[in-house]
Amino acid sequence: MNSAASAASAPALLPLRRRIPTLPISSSLFRRRPNNRSPSQDRRLGSSLSLERLRRSSAAELRRLADAADEAFSDLRKSYRVERGDLIVFSCRRSSLVFVGNLLLWSLAAVIAVRVLVWIGLGFRWRRWGFGEWAAVRRRDRSLGGREVVVGRRKSEGLKVSVNPLSPAKSSFAGNGKIAVEKRGRRREELPKWWPELSPSPSPSPAVDVQREELQREANRLVRAIMDNRMSGKDYRYDDMIQLRELCRLSGGKISFETANVRDSFYRAAIDFVLEICSRATQTTVKVQINGEDVRTFISALADNIGLPSFRAATLIRAAVAARTRASFLQSWALEAQGKRSEALAELLKIGVIHQIFPPEEQSPEMEMVASGIKKNLQADQRKHLLTLYRGVCGAANCTTVAEALDLRS
């Protein structure tokens, strides 16, 4: 009974559950972890991601392009067929034609872009390494009467590139160079002092008008004959020059050649003819004439008859005189070295006669060109010996310009 009462009084036992302690969950676990990277690292990471995306897209585009090219090539290979023996049928998909057209267009654009980039790159390289500050190198052309021509470009460093190899270097100040160029330009526009004044042709009277027209037609026929001979490979004849000048003098008219080059070539031949006539004189004081006219009047009037400007004609005469001077000096020394004194003096006499009739100006570019050529072939003592011989045969006339031609200026 005691056991039953105790059992009745005892509380009912429930199954025990193990309680798990609940820990507080902090919201910090769900927060973003702090970023310890610097802004530069973020930029590099973003750049690498961008490059990766660009690489993947480029690779995908190249694969797509390769597939399109393969498909178009396969389609074009099967695009034609022969039917009924001689009928060729061409058929292809529109995408193939579009691919070919785009390929040609983009190829052309790529070529143009490459050329532009190369041009820009070369220009940048010239400027970066000093190639951009190049100055024009000018030299005087003896065949053009000492006219300055550009023969190349050279880098200018502080000093202006000399326009003449014999002249001293000038300052890079632009004003001095401009003044020097203007002075040279004015000198080229001035006629030499020996250039004669040509009297204007009188107006024809009615009585001789018909005769002058006939002389003009004869002069035109002579010019055509001269041109025909020249086209056939024949040289200009001195008789034709004399006859042409006579016809133009009597008719008071002018003639014209087909081109300016032919006109200048004819006038150069006339200058050589005149200088050859002058070289035959035995004394420097002899008055040389051609067909009753003074040689100066003949050659200057002939330039007016053929329509050659006086400045251009004077330039050609200066150049021819300089060439004759150089050739005669070298020939004279060659004869002197061979012991042929008389023939050497005859060559020097030719120079004296030519300089007496067509005297060069002092400090002229033509004589500087002669001096630069002779100095390369003759020593200083040899040039002094030639000057002594020249004074003995020609006297003191034009010794200043002759000394300049021999580069013996005091």
Taking the alpha carbons of 305, 306, 311, 313 in that order, is the dihedral positive or negative? negative
pTM recorded for the entire structure: 0.55
Please state the φ and ψ torsions of residue 53, each to the nearest 5 degrees. Answer: -65, -40
Residue 107 burial class via C-beta count within 10 angstroms: exposed 0-12, middle 13-18, buried 19 and up: exposed
**Residues 127/146, Cβ–Cβ less than 8 Å:** no
Tens of pLDDT, residues 2-56? 444 444 444 444 444 555 555 454 444 445 545 566 666 667 767 777 777 877 8
CB 252 within 8 A of CB 202: yes
Start-to-end C-alpha separation, the chain: 165
For residue 307, give the amino acid letter: G
Structure tokens at 347: 């060559």
- State how far the Cα of 380 lies from the Cα of 325, in Å rounded to an integer: 17
Integer Cα distance of 230 and 245 in angstroms: 18
Q: Could you list the pLDDT tens digit for every one of the 410 residues in the chain? A: 444 444 444 444 444 455 555 545 444 444 554 556 666 666 776 777 777 787 788 888 788 878 888 777 777 777 767 776 677 777 777 777 788 888 888 888 999 988 888 888 776 555 554 444 555 666 665 555 555 666 555 554 444 444 443 343 343 334 444 444 444 445 556 788 889 887 665 555 555 667 888 888 888 898 888 888 888 888 888 888 999 998 888 888 888 888 888 889 899 999 999 999 988 887 777 788 888 888 999 999 999 999 899 999 999 999 999 999 999 999 999 999 999 999 999 999 999 999 999 998 888 888 888 888 898 888 989 999 999 999 888 887 778 888 888 988 75
pLDDT tens profile 203-244? 555 556 678 888 888 888 988 888 888 888 888 888 889 999
From residue 18, give the alpha-carbon distance in Å to each of 15, 21, 209: 10, 9, 149
